[in-house]
Amino acid sequence: MLQEYKLSLKMPEAEEFIDLIFYRPVAFILVKTIYKLPVTPNQVSLLSMLIGLFAAWQFSVGTSDALILGGLLFLLSNILDCADGQLARLQKSGTLLGRVIDGVADYIVGVAIFVGIGFGITSSGNSLWLMVIFAGISSALHAMFFDYYQSEFISTVRGEKNFLDREKEQFSYEIKQMKEQRRDGLKIFLLSLYLRYLDFQRKSGTKSDGSRYNSEIYRKENSVMIRLWSFLGPTTNRTLLIGCAFIGRIDFYLWIILLAGNIWLIFSYLFQYRIHKKLEAA
């Protein structure tokens, strides 16, 4: 059982702390219950999205009871969001399109949550739409940077080719094959969107090439850094929102994202830049 659980993770030291101690263990129990059933990771992703949208609707109501219900629904949505990837790894049923669907579902829910927060705060007599918009953009950037450096850490430590290059090759080849076979245009569109996202990630990072580094040296130099990045991860962000929803203070969440979150992002980026320069000099 423990070995199966480890196989369902990407890499424990690169995971968010709250994922390791709560979401992934709970999701793994769920996965072990359903993984032999005719349930696909994409179906779990879509269910997670639907529950997340219902949570956003509850946040838009703005009352104390609605915020608590929204927080509970968002908690369940996040457990399912962890479960889809674990299910794919245990079933060995993961696909490129599945990764895109998971990402698209996350962004749809993310946008809906902030729209719901905006309406909920407005209904309580506060007009904080500008604050909500900037917090939403900040939240997306935090998740993007964590995703970038988590992927770089995992691929470098494993001695694999640069993650972004590997992903671009896989997705470009899949798109080419689908075009030649004149297959589903919607799938081609979604895969192409993901390629654009990868390009944006590359332009936003500190321009390192992890494949040039010795994996053990890289791991030693970045073991603390990846933990710092993890505090900007999407699960940590969502858990903070859930906690603030439970106490009825969504405004606390917005201030934390805008102030503490962005200061942490700048600090982490500068620290990461220094580490990459040190590795390149060595």
* Contact between 195 and 171 (Cβ < 8 Å): yes
CA-CA distance, 62 to 116, in Å (whole number)? 9
Question: Has residue 271 got a pLDDT over 90?
Answer: yes
Question: What pLDDT band is residue 33 in, cutting at 50, 70 and 90?
Answer: confident
Report the 3 state secondary structure along 160-179. Answer: CCCHHHHHHHHHHHHHHHHH
- pLDDT value, residue 103: 81
CATH 1.10.357.10 fits 2-281, yes or no: no
**Both tokens of residue 259?**
């102030």
Lowest mean pLDDT among 34-48, 168-182, 256-270: 168-182
CA-CA distance, 229 to 45, in Å (whole number)? 25
**Both tokens of residue 34?**
């359903």
Question: For all residues of the chain together, what is the average pLDDT?
Answer: 84
- pLDDT value, residue 272: 93
3-state helix, strand, coil in the chain (%, to 5): 85, 0, 15
The percent of residues above 70 in pLDDT, for the chain, comes to 76
Greater model confidence, 116 or 163 = 116
pLDDT tens digits, residue range 44-78? 999 999 999 999 999 999 899 999 999 999 999 99
pLDDT tens digits, residue range 96-145? 667 777 888 888 999 999 999 999 988 666 678 999 999 999 999 999 89
Question: Has residue 273 got a pLDDT over 70?
Answer: yes
* Contact between 232 and 261 (Cβ < 8 Å): yes
Is the pTM higher than 0.85? The answer reads no
**Both tokens of residue 130?**
């500008």
Q: Provide the b/e sequence for 66-90 (b: ≥16 CB within 10 Å).
A: bbbbbbbbbbbbbbbbbbbbbbbbb
Question: What pLDDT band is residue 10 in, cutting at 50, 70 and 90?
Answer: confident
Question: Has residue 172 got a pLDDT over 60?
Answer: yes
Question: Has residue 152 got a pLDDT over 90?
Answer: no
Q: Calculate mean pLDDT across residues 193-208.
A: 63
